[in-house]
Amino acid sequence: MTTLKTTNFAGTAWVRKFADRLLAECNDQGEHPWVMERWAYVPGMQLMALAQAGEQLDRPEYMAFAKQHMDTFVQEDGRIRTYRLEEYNLDQINQGKNLFALHGATGEPRYAEAAHLLAAQLVSQPRTSEGGFWHKKVYPFQMWLDGLYMASPFLAEYGKTFDRPDLIDEALHQLLLIERRTRDPRTGLLYHGWDESKEQEWADSSTGLSSHFWSRAMGWYAMAVVDVLDHVPVTHRQRGTVVGIFQRMMGALVRVQDADSGLWHQVLDQGGRKGNYLEASGSCMFVYAMAKGLRLGYLEANFTEPMRRGYTGILRHLVTEDEQGIHLNRICHGAGLSIDRNGSYDYYISEAVVSDTPMGVAPLMLAVLEVERVQ
């Protein structure tokens, strides 16, 4: 097995290898590949990365693949197979981000109807006393950083596409509220979750906050902020505030970036602690957000070097190639907050560490494409 080097491997060729493998794997699985099993945030993100790769690299087969698999869910009348609005689950919004490009490219009404259905969920989503979206109906009064990526970019793009400026306002409100509620003033990092009711086992009894800064949770939020800004008018009264908190957050992340590898740890501020490890998905998300922030002028030039160190670190330490193909390693399989997921340090480092899952590969592809654009 060989580790890839930035000096001899083009980023776009790297993305093509991952994309081509995805197409081959799904074709090999026959009629029921994993991306078709249910409407969900992980396959939705992988399809979004694939479609973006198709557009940026002029590979129409990638966009056709994404459309084919979206069409297995979106019915002619706009109903979505396996989706239930009444679950009020923010995770189920993420795959809907693919609807806007499909509607723009084809003009088919079913994509707009499906987007209207998902927007209807968000309009009636259960909320905290300050209007913050519950992460799910089954997680009452809880806001998680994860949910901001799932819902806010969709809501902002929906508001722009269908002339609903009030929903752009709502997307920004969600971003600003959770940042205010979860930000640690000492480190500038954001805690994974907040329970307004302070009832959950993982929540501090006085603040309602979870205990640690999970890399991928902050990665979700960083991507959410930079993606929402794509759809916010430059004249919006809160745009500058959101850009400001994005730069402040990126500064906090640079301070905990590993000096040797350029990557980020599973528990961000515990780099030297036993059991902690350099984690792939969060590192890819941070590189994506930083590169996009640089390209669009949200970040100053002093962030260029940390972004490049992160990108180089991904190639040198996380991506390998062997006779089976190309691999992304050290991906946290998943983490959350619940009775059996108490948000402790030991919990975060105990979750399975895997390779090649879309939870890491999709952010990787998005990061590479964005770095290619900024360079």
Residue 303 phi, psi dihedral angles, 5° rounding: -85, -5
Query: What percent of the chain has a predicted confidence (pLDDT) above 90?
Result: 89
Query: How many angstroms separate the CA atoms of 316 and 134, rounded?
Result: 39
| Residue 9 in this model has a pLDDT that exceeds 70 | no
Residue 161: both structure tokens together:
């596409």
Burial 93-123 (b: 16+ CB within 10 A, else e): bbbbbbbbbbbeeeeeebbbbbbebbbebbe
Query: How many angstroms separate the CA atoms of 306 and 283, rounded?
Result: 11
| Per-residue pLDDT tens over the stretch 224-236 | 999 999 999 999 9
CA angle 220, 302, 288 (to 5 degrees): 25
Q: Is 319 helix (H, G, I), strand (E, B) or coil?
A: strand
Tokens 């990061």 appear where? Answer: 367
| Residue 359 in this model has a pLDDT that exceeds 60 | yes
| Per-residue pLDDT tens over the stretch 147-166 | 999 999 999 999 999 999 99
- Average pLDDT over every residue of 257-279: 98
Residue 103: both structure tokens together:
């509607």
Q: Which of 267, 185, 158, 259 is nearest to 218 (CA)?
A: 267
| Residue 180 in this model has a pLDDT that exceeds 90 | yes
CA angle 180, 251, 90 (to 5 degrees): 45
* 28 in active site: no
Which residue would you say has higher pLDDT here, 307 or 24? 307
- Which residues are CB-neighbours of 201 under 8 A, at least 6 positions away? 339, 342
| Per-residue pLDDT tens over the stretch 55-110 | 999 999 999 999 999 999 999 999 999 999 999 999 999 999 999 999 999 999 99
| Per-residue pLDDT tens over the stretch 201-231 | 999 999 999 999 999 999 999 999 999 999 9
Angstrom CA distances, 46 to 332, 359, 362, stand at 16, 8, 5
Catalytic residue among 146, 195, 227, 356: 146
Tokens 């990092």 appear where? Answer: 189
| Helix, strand, coil % in the chain, rounded to nearest 5 | 55, 10, 35
pLDDT of residue 205: 97
Q: Which of 348, 92, 352 is nearest to 202 (CA)?
A: 348
Q: Residue 179: how many CB atoms within 10 A of its CB?
A: 20
pLDDT of residue 325: 87
Q: Which of 170, 68, 173, 82 is nearest to 122 (CA)?
A: 170
pLDDT of residue 35: 65
Query: How many angstroms separate the CA atoms of 141 and 145, rounded?
Result: 14
What residues does 209 pair with on adjacent strands? 194
Tokens 């050290």 appear where? Answer: 330
- Average pLDDT over every residue of 344-369: 97
Which residue would you say has higher pLDDT here, 175 or 10? 175
Q: Which of 210, 131, 199 is nearest to 166 (CA)?
A: 131
Q: Residue 342: how many CB atoms within 10 A of its CB?
A: 16
pLDDT of residue 29: 63
Query: How many angstroms separate the CA atoms of 300 and 290, rounded?
Result: 10
Sequence ranges of the domains in the chain: 2-374
Tokens 């302070």 appear where? Answer: 198
Long-range contacts from 240-247, C-beta under 8 angstroms, 24+ separation = 241/176, 242/172, 242/175, 242/176, 243/298, 245/175, 245/176, 245/179, 246/222, 246/289, 246/293, 246/298, 246/299, 247/293, 247/298, 247/299, 247/300
| Residue 281 in this model has a pLDDT that exceeds 70 | yes
In contact, 242 and 228? CB cutoff 8 Å: yes
Angstrom CA distances, 173 to 204, 210, 217, 228, 317, stand at 24, 21, 19, 11, 38
Q: Compute the mean pLDDT over every residue in the chain, rounded to the nearest whole number.
A: 94
The pTM assigned to this predicted structure is: 0.96
Q: Which amino acid is at 167?
A: L
The CATH number that domain 2-374 falls under is: 1.50.10.10
